[in-house]
Amino acid sequence: MKNKAKVSGDSESRERVFEGQPVGAGISIGVVHRYDSRAVVQVRERRIPLTKIRVEQHRLLEAATKAAEYVSDLQSQAQRMNSAAGEELGYILDAHLQMLSGSRLVRGVQKRIASERINAEAAVVKEIGLMAEAFAAMEDQYLSERISDIREVGRRLVASLGHAAPAGIDDLPKNAVVVADELSPADTALLDPDRIVGLATTLGGVESHMAIVARSLGLPAVVAAPGLIDDVKNGEAIIVDGSTGKVFVAPSADTLRTYRLKRARFLRSQQSLKKLKSVAAVTKDGFRIHLLANIELPSELDAVAASGAEGIGLFRSEFMFLNRDTLPTEDQQFAELSQVVKKLAGRPLTIRILDVGADKLGDSVGLKPGPNPVLGLRGIRFALAHRKILMTQLAAILRAGAMGPVRILLPMVCIVDEIKEVRDIMARVARKLRRRGAKIADPLPPVGVMIEIPGAALAADALAAEADFFAIGTNDLTQYTLAIDRSDEQVAYLYNPLHPAVMRLIQFSAEAASAAGIPVSVCGEMAGDERLTPILLGFGITELSMAPANLPRVKKAVLDLNLAAITGRVRRLTSESDPARLKVLLDYIAQAK
């Protein structure tokens, strides 16, 4: 049975169990705070006399100012988050501020008050409804998803007019577990870390925005748990298991006891993990493993330092191209990258070339989505079609490489020629820079490829002859191998990097790298899941790159592992076709020490 609430047979309790996708490790026990972002603000419409129109319009402007002050406070809160999520929230809240100050929304409401002679609250609700409809009809997925932001601004405006708005997430009880249909970036800005202990949503995938925020706040969370929001009431007791994806509403006394114990065990292990920061990651039988961090923003470097990572295995460079009207210049990119290189003080930095397309930014670089963006002009294909952008980025990387060790990583590589072309372009850029007298990396940085297309994995031997290293991107590799959109909750239950097809591709790529004598890492989300560490190491992977928060748990899994004892069984995973025997093998590997 897939993702359906089960009601406990125990007549004393009304325990309901939901199953979703786990995103943030740990267990939270708290009380339900229901937040339905689809809820429409209910207000009474009043007709106002002609003489009161100005007064009503003035009341609206005052409310907009009050709401804007509130949003500014949230912005300062977001800045303190000091993470990718915090920075993104800052941008979203900027958009909210704009909506609240002399924008089309405020002007539209003003006009409506005068033309329909109705109270400000009713005019806001009508205007928001119209805007939401217009946005929903837009073909651009990013814009159509901004509806929840518009509703949030409307809700805030109505609240500032002195009207009771539907329950938001800024008035949480203590120990709140927010149960929502989904949470937009704007919603997450309202989360008070002192009051919230967990999150559970009915929509979203394990790599949705909410999942990223949950991980960066260290909150246990579950996404894609169908039916949950419609079957909970405010104030009910709830347990969220961020490791298994289970959610218990109104848990029985037995369940509560079990989970209190599990939570206490988890918290104790978190404490002891902190002590591992400067311990080398070596398996029990002496294999040295390298643990690195994935980052999306320079501001995450403090978290990297705290995690004890040996360097950066994946620096997603898209951030430099976000939220701006023009492309970043070579000097601007150099300024950002050189800061990071300096801060890493000799530890390696793997910079991935701009990976636009599909779900990632497109507008800011003028990319027009093709008929099927996931299979279209993305990653290295885009870079080679827009040489100027690529050359500028390479120039900035080569200059940053003069200040410390950097590696260049190419996303979505499919054929050998793509690597050769980048090398030719890099050589040309280097000559130009030398003529200009600029200091650049010497020798030129290693050029590696992401293995994230099934065809690239199957042709890994050919690619290994041309690449200096491999980074296996299991997020896209799983998506493309199993034909499952990684952000679509409807098929999230099928998204499984342990599918034998995905494991065979990982194994084949790792073997091709080892035969060619080049390093190979895994940098997809799989690398940060300590339950999968034995499998990846069993395939011969010696480098794992992950969100910094996951690193201590993965290190513990490495330290506890006797690699020789499980390698044979891991290899058998890829030749086993019987699901029952596969499960036995996986269980054995998971329990082996």
| Residues near Mg ion, by CB under 5 A | 452, 473, 476
State the minimum distance, in angstroms, from the CB of residue 477 to ligand PEP: 6
Give whichever of 334 and 480 is closer to Mg ion, judged by the CB atom: 480
Residue 242 touches ligand PEP, criterion: CB under 6 A: no
User: In terms of Cα–Cα distance, which of 98, 105, 112 is closest to 57?
Assistant: 112
Give whichever of 110 and 521 is closer to ligand PEP, judged by the CB atom: 521
User: In terms of Cα–Cα distance, which of 471, 382, 476 is closest to 422?
Assistant: 382
Residue 88 touches ligand PEP, criterion: CB under 6 A: no
Q: What is the DSSP code (8-state) at residue 452?
A: -
CA neighbours closer than 13 Å in the CB half-sphere of residue 403? 18
Query: Pick from Mg ion, ligand PEP, none: which does 524 bind, CB < 5 to 8 A by kind?
Result: ligand PEP
Q: Which two tokens stand for residue 377?
A: 């002009």
Mark 58-81 as b/e (b = at least 16 C-beta within 10 Å).
Answer: ebbeebbebbbebbeebbebbeeb
Residue 521 touches ligand PEP, criterion: CB under 6 A: no
Coil, strand or helix: which one is 103? coil
State the minimum distance, in angstroms, from the CB of residue 486 to ligand PEP: 8
Residue 474 touches ligand PEP, criterion: CB under 6 A: yes
Residue 452 touches ligand PEP, criterion: CB under 6 A: yes
Mark 506-524 as b/e (b = at least 16 C-beta within 10 Å).
Answer: bbbbbbbbbebebbbbbbb
| CA–CA separation, 327 and 433 (whole Å) | 20
Query: Pick from Mg ion, ligand PEP, none: which does 339 bind, CB < 5 to 8 A by kind?
Result: none
Query: Pick from ligand PEP, Mg ion, none: which does 474 bind, CB < 5 to 8 A by kind?
Result: ligand PEP
Q: How many residues bind ligand PEP (CB under 6 A)?
A: 10
State the minimum distance, in angstroms, from the CB of residue 234 to ligand PEP: 36
Question: Which range binds ligand PEP by CB under 6 A, 196-204, 222-230, 280-288, 472-480?
Answer: 472-480
Q: Which residues pair with 471 in a beta bridge?
A: 450, 521
Residue 528 touches ligand PEP, criterion: CB under 6 A: no
**Catalytic choice (163, 209, 290, 386):** 209
State the minimum distance, in angstroms, from the CB of residue 314 to ligand PEP: 6
Query: Pick from Mg ion, ligand PEP, none: which does 229 bind, CB < 5 to 8 A by kind?
Result: none
Residue 300 touches ligand PEP, criterion: CB under 6 A: no
Look up 523 and say whether it is catalytic.
Answer: yes
State the minimum distance, in angstroms, from the CB of residue 586 to ligand PEP: 21
Query: What residues contact residue 37 under an 8 Å CB cut-off, 6+ apart?
Result: 148, 151, 152, 180, 181, 182, 183, 184, 187
Give whichever of 152 and 476 is closer to Mg ion, judged by the CB atom: 476
Burial class (CB in 10 A: 0-12, 13-18, 19+), 1: exposed
Residue 407 touches ligand PEP, criterion: CB under 6 A: no
Q: What is the DSSP code (8-state) at residue 218?
A: T
Look up 414 and say whether it is catalytic.
Answer: no
State the minimum distance, in angstroms, from the CB of residue 199 to Mg ion: 25
Residue 476 touches ligand PEP, criterion: CB under 6 A: yes
Coil, strand or helix: which one is 398? helix
Query: What residues contact residue 503 under an 8 Å CB cut-off, 6+ apart?
Result: 497, 535, 539, 573, 574
State the minimum distance, in angstroms, from the CB of residue 105 to Mg ion: 36
Residue 524 touches ligand PEP, criterion: CB under 6 A: yes
Query: What residues contact residue 124 under an 8 Å CB cut-off, 6+ apart?
Result: 41, 43, 60, 109, 154, 157, 158, 161
Give whichever of 18 and 319 is closer to ligand PEP, judged by the CB atom: 319
**Catalytic choice (33, 163, 290, 523):** 523
Residue of minimal Cβ distance to ligand PEP:
473
Q: Which two tokens stand for residue 12?
A: 């004393």
Residue 241 touches ligand PEP, criterion: CB under 6 A: no
Q: Which residues pair with 449 in a beta bridge?
A: 410, 470
Residue 379 touches ligand PEP, criterion: CB under 6 A: no
State the minimum distance, in angstroms, from the CB of residue 218 to ligand PEP: 20
C-alpha to C-alpha distances, 402 to 316, 340, 399, nearest whole angstrom? 20, 13, 5
| CA–CA separation, 451 and 513 (whole Å) | 11
Q: Which of 332, 475, 542, 562 binds ligand PEP (CB under 6 A)?
A: 475
Residues that bind ligand PEP (CB under 6 A): 314, 316, 355, 452, 473-476, 523-524
Active-site residues, by number, are 209, 523
